[in-house]
Structure 1
């Protein structure tokens, strides 16, 4: 089985089965993947975690699911880190915020865009996957929020969290490490797969493309990009993803403007030439059209 096939199966499972079923598995491993001298990507079950180490403390981006917190902390300690001083959530989905309560209770300062806190306070339901999240407990909530961007001057780098509107959701943030030349893209970037666009919670395909364009404009051939899901990437891989999104958007927008229903759009099979490369993750082309069509505007 290829690495991409294995990643596809894991990513699909995270979205398509209840967390309680997945997290009953004891064989989940949290693997630290070096990105730069003091930045790692932690892969496991859920969104990729960004880990930044240094003399000012441990800084992480997203935290997967609550039952994995002990394993995540063990992985952090294995590369010289400690209980995180700061945690920033790239968006509100449970595979990126599930460990918030555990870390909040451990003293970690949680930061996010305003919309992330709002949605965690209210609770949410993602109908595409039947995922119901009740209102979060106080310890799981961000205690610092921002509307546009926030700077962290930590571990001899300038880390900038920038909100991008109406992308994967309405509360997404991109995290830029200026000195290290590293970006954590959150779920704006599914490396090698059709992405989930959460239209019910403010996401749009056009906004996702705009967010990807912002990352492309801020990176170069030496940049390392941590995607929300999938393997560590470079700018060329992000560009390929952007090209796919732009092609898909143009085709789906034309069908929608022509008054074509989602069922008839599927019959048109507008993604047939993209399927072999991009249709092996969470969604086949047919499923992706069905879910994404409302987000085409």
Structure 2
């Protein structure tokens, strides 16, 4: 039942007529990046609205970045890092394939930065076009060859830099099938990429291999790693958070999942489930990010849990 439902969802996504996502330098004119200290050697670079948060570990041996924002913001990203460090940017870890996290790769590679990612994320780089999940799904052209990760791994990788071990590890297919968490144990900072955001319900990109079950499993991994003082950088969101905030996010997902499963067992179709508003208790907090809402999140849950049938009149 699950495999059949997932196949249905994937096939539906593939058959959609999806426009291309385009952006220009002008779109980012006047967009300034800020940088704030998180803990220890780790900083966070943000654009207005808290989208695509960058982790930056700095020190005398060099700078390691987590993600690279959109291409037109590359110079501003470098400038932001230079506010807190005059060391070279040496390493970049891509947490996943989406354009707001890999767009600056080419510029950084031209500066001599070595790019790392999971095996699955590099495979996504090699596709004829890359999909961005918001607003019903949009496509962007593939990144240039120089923007691709040079070093990839299937499980975990450790960096030893600035007197600190940096742990990067693959998590179960969650936001995508290539999601990486990056943990800085000495600084006690955990970067979760887009598996966790404070701005919307989880974005589960089924087209790129994401899943609800993997999202829950990955967040449970993060909760297990995090201690009472751990600082957690969300992929999107204005604030660094702590473990208890992440636990509440996980519990919200489990509550909605349980409600949807109960309705499936009652034989409800997708339009009936959405009409029943299983997210009602959470919508005020979790529907503030344009392009991903209840109408996007609930169908992913419904089909992954084995629901069948389509929404009427949509």
What TM-score, normalized by structure 1, do the two folds share? 0.88
- Match of 2:108? 103
- Match of 1:189? 196
The SS at the match of 2:201 is coil
1:216 and 2:223 correspond: yes
Deviating more after overlay: 190-199 vs 176-185: 190-199
1:124 and 2:130 correspond: yes
Kindly tell me: are residues 19 and 227 of structure 1, through their superposed partners in 2, closer, same or farther at Cα, counting changes over 3 Å? farther
- Match of 1:245? 253
Deviating more after overlay: 37-46 vs 101-110: 37-46
Deviating more after overlay: 265-274 vs 223-232: 265-274
- Match of 1:11? none
Question: How many residues end up aligned between the 2 structures?
Answer: 282
Match of 2:70 among 65, 68, 74: 65
The SS at the match of 2:59 is coil
Kindly tell me: are residues 210 and 114 of structure 1, through their superposed partners in 2, closer, same or farther at Cα, counting changes over 3 Å? same
Name the CA distance, whole Å, in 1 between partners of 2:26 and 2:202: 23
Name the CA distance, whole Å, in 2 between partners of 1:92 and 1:293: 25
The SS at the match of 2:218 is helix
Contiguous gaps of at least 5 residues in structure 2 = 1-18, 307-314
Greater Cα radius of gyration, structure 1 or 2 = 2
Name the CA distance, whole Å, in 2 between partners of 1:218 and 1:106: 33
Kindly tell me: are residues 127 and 62 of structure 1, through their superposed partners in 2, closer, same or farther at Cα, counting changes over 3 Å? closer
Alignment of 1:1-297 (within 5 A): 18-20=21-23, 24-44=27-47, 46-122=51-127, 123-126=129-132, 128-129=134-135, 130-230=137-237, 231-282=239-290, 283-290=292-299, 292-296=301-305
What TM-score, normalized by structure 2, do the two folds share? 0.84
Q: CA deviation at 1:73?
A: 0.5
Q: CA deviation at 1:259?
A: 4.3
Q: CA deviation at 1:268?
A: 1.5
Q: CA deviation at 1:145?
A: 0.1
Contiguous gaps of at least 5 residues in structure 1 = 1-15
Q: CA deviation at 1:125?
A: 2.6
- Match of 1:13? none
Deviating above 6 A after TM superposition, structure 1's stretches of 4 or more consecutive aligned residues are none
Indicate if the aligned counterparts of 1:30 and 1:42 stay in contact, CA closer than 8 A: yes
The SS at the match of 1:85 is strand
Deviating more after overlay: 287-296 vs 73-82: 287-296
